[in-house]
Chains A and B, each alone.
Chain A
């Protein structure tokens, strides 16, 4: 039984083994569904020269943005990096290498990495700067470029509920890149709002089966909102 008990009880334990120079993939879209406490632990540890893969880089002072404060990130794969002044500054100073990646390609590179698919062809980016230098192949009269899978040393993921076996469910659009990130880390760490007893989660409702997950930790979350937009009512 204990071989399947993925629970850890401190963030220090959750991120044990992360070192400078490693590749880190993180779930989240904007500030929605980000593993905010795991990110804080990466900051606390002060590891440097990280390659980070995530759709965005948080905002100044929150989310992955905090890793910029001590220049912990060397290279960043993202589809959109617009909300962060410190990121812009480090990008312009060439202190951080940014590899802009179309959002669907980013997701698929994670999925492929986790699924043992080394590379895939996609029409996305053909004929654009993204396709430059990449292998092109024609299928049924259309051009496709070859994109390679992501592999990360650590995947950091935010779930809603999990059991000790590491089965995870996500809540609403906080799902986003999380289940994909969870598949492509050598070590996958998931922080959740609640750890429930085995059997409480319906097997047919699991988003991330425990086989992908190495460590589970229960945390509390700020869940900052980036653009609060409301209607009268």
Chain B
């Protein structure tokens, strides 16, 4: 069975380590915050200028001056810091964020990522995505393995305009967890009940399949 969005978030959360500063993108990455393992403390960075994003506010706590990068009202947790946008992106571009999780339309075997623009469709902008992929050392890209029409999103070469070049080395899809190394995807784990054959079939880029590909485990 392909992973649900919640399961994808849960799997990504297993990569969190105590003391990590983490930037979570919109969509599935946002859900990761709900699955931080017990005993682990992470500080969430929101690129509009908040390090230490807390929970959503109660009705009484809502404050128009307190939002996240998705423009939702939020709170700051104890230990949070607030700063301007240049400072925020200095952290990101300077490689200070320990883990970045973001979505994509396509990723290719060279670690290129396309996530912001589909030519011919309305272009809304890249926001902070280009800064995040260029600045982070440690990125997990979350996406469905193939489109609704069954076309692979893990490609030999991205077809859409890039968000960043050669910057992705870990991908979690609804079918598999993969790493990218020396121009190949390497199949590391598969979703429970998903066969290696299905993953091979739905991966258009070069894929290395080790002898043993374990199933993901969830607590």
Interface residues, chain A, with chain B CB atoms under 8 Å away: 29-33, 55, 78-83, 88, 92, 100, 102-108, 110-111, 122-130, 160, 170-180, 207, 223-233
Bound-state Cα–Cα, A227 to B56, Å: 11
**B117 interface contact, C-beta 8 A:** yes
Closest to A81 in B: B125
Complex partner residue of B130 from A33, A92, A125, A176, CB under 8 angstroms: A125
Residues of A within 8 A of B70 (CB): 227
- The answer to whether B73 and A227 touch across the interface, beta carbons within 8 angstroms, is yes
- The answer to whether B57 and A231 touch across the interface, beta carbons within 8 angstroms, is yes
**B37 interface contact, C-beta 8 A:** no
Complex partner residue of A233 from B58, B93, B117, CB under 8 angstroms: B58
One digit per residue, 1 when the CB lies within 8 angstroms of any chain A CB and 0 when it does not, for chain B 48-77 equals 111000011111001111111011111010
**B193 interface contact, C-beta 8 A:** no
Complex partner residue of A122 from B57, B93, B122, B126, CB under 8 angstroms: B93
**B164 interface contact, C-beta 8 A:** yes
Measured between C-beta atoms, what is the minimum distance from B60 to chain A in Å? 9
Measured between C-beta atoms, what is the minimum distance from A193 to chain B in Å? 10
Q: List 5 A-B contacts (CB under 8 A).
A: A79-B125, A172-B76, A227-B71, A227-B73, A228-B62
**B124 interface contact, C-beta 8 A:** yes
Residues of B within 8 A of A170 (CB): 84
Bound-state Cα–Cα, A107 to B59, Å: 32
Query: B interface, how many residues as a size bin?
Result: 35 or more
Bound-state Cα–Cα, A179 to B84, Å: 7
Residues of B within 8 A of A105 (CB): 130-131
Q: A103-B85, A129-B117, A130-B130 are in contact. Are A176 and B93 (CB under 8 A)?
A: no
Q: Which 10 A-B pairs have the closest CB atoms?
A: A127-B165, A104-B89, A104-B131, A82-B124, A80-B125, A107-B85, A223-B64, A229-B72, A102-B130, A30-B71
Complex partner residue of B56 from A110, A129, A230, CB under 8 angstroms: A230
Residues of A within 8 A of B128 (CB): 79, 102-104
- The answer to whether B85 and A29 touch across the interface, beta carbons within 8 angstroms, is yes
Bound-state Cα–Cα, A180 to B63, Å: 23
**B216 interface contact, C-beta 8 A:** no
- The answer to whether B56 and A229 touch across the interface, beta carbons within 8 angstroms, is yes
- The answer to whether B62 and A124 touch across the interface, beta carbons within 8 angstroms, is no
Residues of B within 8 A of A225 (CB): 62, 64, 67, 73
- The answer to whether B126 and A102 touch across the interface, beta carbons within 8 angstroms, is yes
Bound-state Cα–Cα, A170 to B130, Å: 27
Q: A173-B49, A174-B65, A228-B62 are in contact. Are A129 and B161 (CB under 8 A)?
A: yes
- The answer to whether A172 and B56 touch across the interface, beta carbons within 8 angstroms, is no
One digit per residue, 1 when the CB lies within 8 angstroms of any chain A CB and 0 when it does not, for chain B 66-109 equals 11101111101000001111101100110000000000000000
Complex partner residue of A173 from B50, B59, B124, B166, CB under 8 angstroms: B50
Residues of B within 8 A of A130 (CB): 126, 130
Bound-state Cα–Cα, A229 to B74, Å: 7
**B112 interface contact, C-beta 8 A:** yes
- The answer to whether A107 and B55 touch across the interface, beta carbons within 8 angstroms, is no
Name the interface residues of B120-144: CB closer than 8 Å to any CB of A. 122-131, 134-135
- The answer to whether B84 and A172 touch across the interface, beta carbons within 8 angstroms, is no
**B179 interface contact, C-beta 8 A:** no
